[in-house]
Amino acid sequence: MTIAFWKMHGAGNDFIVVDDRDETFPAGDRHWLQAVAHRNTGIGCDGFILVQNSDAADFRMRFLNSDGSEVAMCGNGARCVARFAARRGISAARMSFDTAAGTLHAEVLEDDQVCLQMTDPFDWRLERSFEISEQMKVYDFVNTGVPHVVIKVDALDLDVLAYGTAIRHHADFQPDGTNANFITCSGPQSLNLRTYERGVENETLACGTGVVAAALVAAQRGWVSPPVAVCCASGDKQTVDFNLNAEGARDVTLTGPAVFIFEGTVEYDG
């Protein structure tokens, strides 16, 4: 079977996007997915995005990590799939689409930018104690479609892989684990961020839901105020806007790039 795909990235977070409205993509073949995602011997990606039919929205977005595991949401991926759907005529520039985290709304803007309306964050856990190192004894946590730990550090020249792995597998976040974000404040409305993503099991150049989690936690802790510009490891900036309230935050939007890289085909013989 020949599968057509489009390679895209959102702030350096890269994806293989497939129009899977006929639902023939081999999403259950984790060995094949891992081989395709491999950066030396495959196409290379942080995840796979499948566009499928929906009865309630313009389409359904299904997201698979590079290890073949499925997660509910991906912020950078959602912006990419929105631009893909508009480019392919699957939706208009303003659209709604289903995810396992809920229905999202997006608008494709000029200059490769997409504004994404996020689902409401939940499962807030602020100023919790653990001990990863002498410098990391307090964490904040919020689910922005997927779970995220946020830790404010003095500087970002740290071993993200080592610390991220320890946090991802910490007992506080089992059995599903968590993503881990390390932030510094660069101004009253700006952050710098590095993120370790579960499923990739390494640092990624950007993570949209992590960007949102970092901005929301930093605002709740009084370190910044919205809108918040977040600079990721790729050097790209994304903007998070929201309204704080007693429950945490509402009306959360994430605006940032969604870029086409190339298109091609890959063979599946399974």
- Contact indicator for 66, 34 with CB cutoff of 8 Å: yes
Q: Compute how many other C-beta atoms are within 10 angstroms of the C-beta atom of residue 27.
A: 18
Tokens of 103: 């229905």
Q: Which of 45, 80, 207, 231 is catalytic?
A: 207
Q: How many domains does the chain have?
A: 2
235, 265 Cβ separation under 8 angstroms: no
Give me the residue label for tokens 């409205």: 21
The arithmetic mean of pLDDT across residues 30-37, rounded, is 98
Q: Backbone phi, then psi, for 113, in 5-degree steps?
A: -90, 145
74 lies in the same domain as 148: no
pLDDT tens, 192-212? 999 999 999 999 999 999 999
Q: Do 100 and 191 share a domain, yes or no?
A: no
Residues 103 and 215 in one domain: no
Predicted pLDDT of residue 56: 94
Banded pLDDT at 256 (limits 50, 70, 90): very high
Residues 9 and 110 in one domain: yes
Amino acid 166: pLDDT = 95
User: What is the overall mean pLDDT for the chain?
Assistant: 96
Active site residue 74: yes
In this prediction, residue 120 carries a pLDDT of 92
Residue 182 has pLDDT above 90, yes or no: yes
> 49 and 110, same structural domain?
yes
The mean pLDDT of 149-161, rounded to a whole number, is 96
* pLDDT given for residue 131 in this prediction: 84
Percentage of the chain with pLDDT > 90?
A: 95
Instruction: Quote the CA–CA distance of 86 and 159 in Å, as a whole number.
Output: 39
Matching residue, tokens 């964490």: 139
pLDDT at 134 over 80: no
pLDDT of residue 245: 83
Mean pLDDT value across residues 67-89: 97
pLDDT of 59 reads: 98
Query: What proportion of the chain, given as a percentage, has pLDDT over 70?
Result: 100
- Are 88 and 136 contained in the same domain? no
Task: Give the Cα separation of 219 and 90 in Å (integer).
Answer: 36
97 Rama class: left (phi>0) / alpha (psi -120 to 50) / beta: beta
Q: Identify whether 207 is a catalytic site residue.
A: yes
Regarding whether 88 and 194 lie in a shared domain, the answer is: no
- What pTM was estimated for this model as a whole? 0.93
pLDDT at residue 143 is higher than 80: yes
Are residue 141 and residue 111 in the same domain, yes or no? no
- Over the stretch 36-58, which tens digit does the pLDDT of each residue have? 999 999 999 999 999 999 999 99
Q: Within this chain, do residues 46 and 24 fall inside the same structural domain, yes or no?
A: yes
Residues in the chain: 270
Angle, alpha carbons 177-201-124 (nearest 5°) = 35
Neighbours of 42 (CB within 10 A): 16
Host domain of residue 232: 122-257
Q: What is the reported pLDDT for 132?
A: 86
CATH number at residue 252: 3.10.310.10
pLDDT at residue 133, as a whole number: 83
Same domain, 133 and 253: yes
Residues 62 and 92 in one domain: yes
Task: Note whether 6 and 84 are same-domain residues.
Answer: yes
Catalytic residue among 45, 74, 231, 232: 74
Cα three-residue angle 207-213-216, rounded to 5 degrees: 140
Residues 220-253: tens digit of each pLDDT? 999 999 999 999 999 999 999 999 987 789 999 9
Summarize pLDDT for 210-220 with one digit per residue, the tens.
999 999 999 99
Residue closest to 62 by CA, chosen among 74, 79, 45: 74
